[in-house]
């Protein structure tokens, strides 16, 4: 007969952490970023014919319902398209041309043309609204059978983040 001694060990652990936040007036900064007019921009160019143009407007602001953001915000606009149709795609900010989405930009792994705008800033200490317009032109020189029934898409993404420095 053999006796095998068995020992059981039970460990109890307790973890505790403390922190003190030094926040002026006990408030936490509020991040407000609003794409005004719409959360979704429908770019309808299915029936766009050679020689026609389309324009789409939207706004980006650091306010919502009379509240202003408590942090400085940066944002960037990205336009993606396969660019199968020979469209001229231009982005205007406050009536100034800031980007033409064309083949000088690179393509992603899905072969979509990815056009990134500059990074813009909305400061936290004053109300600001940037007015944008996307102009899409299908030049009349492309009025031929080879451009009939081409399918394409344009995706617009507005990314924003808190500026940290």
- 34-70: pLDDT as tens digits: 544 445 566 666 677 888 888 989 888 888 777 888 8
Q: Is the pLDDT of residue 105 over 70?
A: yes
| Strand duo 87-93 + 73-81: pairing | unpaired
Strand spans (E) along the chain: 34-36, 53-61, 63-64, 67-68, 73-81, 87-93, 96-101, 113-122, 129-138, 154-162
Q: How far apart are CA 95 and CA 76, in angstroms?
A: 17
Q: How far apart are CA 121 and CA 114, in angstroms?
A: 21
Q: Is the pLDDT of residue 17 over 80?
A: no
Q: How far apart are CA 54 and CA 42, in angstroms?
A: 12
Q: Is the pLDDT of residue 11 over 50?
A: no
Match 């652990």 to its residue by tokens: 13
Lowest mean pLDDT among 41-45, 53-57, 114-118, 160-164: 41-45
User: What does the mean pLDDT of the chain come to?
Assistant: 77
| Strand duo 87-93 + 34-36: pairing | unpaired
Query: Assign residue 37 a region: left if phi > 0, alpha if psi is -120 to 50, beta otherwise?
Result: left
* Predicted local distance difference test score (pLDDT) of residue 98: 97
Contact yes or no for 48/140 (Cβ under 8 A):
no
Residue 128 or residue 149, greater confidence: 128
């Amino acid at each position: 007969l053999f006796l095998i001694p068995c020992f059981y060990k039970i460990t109890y652990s307790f973890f505790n952490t403390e922190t003190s936040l030094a926040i002026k007036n006990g408030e936490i900064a509020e991040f407000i970023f609003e794409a005004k007019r719409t959360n979704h921009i429908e770019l309808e160019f299915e029936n766009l014919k050679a020689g026609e143009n389309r324009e789409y407007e939207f706004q980006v602001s650091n306010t919502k319902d009379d509240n202003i953001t408590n942090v400085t915000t940066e944002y960037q606009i990205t336009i993606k398209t396969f660019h199968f149709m020979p469209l001229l795609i231009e982005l205007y900010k406050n009536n100034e041309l800031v980007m033409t989405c064309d083949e000088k930009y690179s393509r992603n792994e899905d072969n979509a043309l990815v056009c990134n705008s500059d990074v813009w800033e909305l400061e936290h200490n004053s109300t600001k609204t940037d007015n944008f317009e996307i102009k899409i032109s299908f030049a009349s020189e492309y009025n031929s059978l080879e451009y009939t029934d081409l399918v394409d898409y344009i995706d617009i993404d507005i990314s924003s983040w808190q500026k940290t420095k």
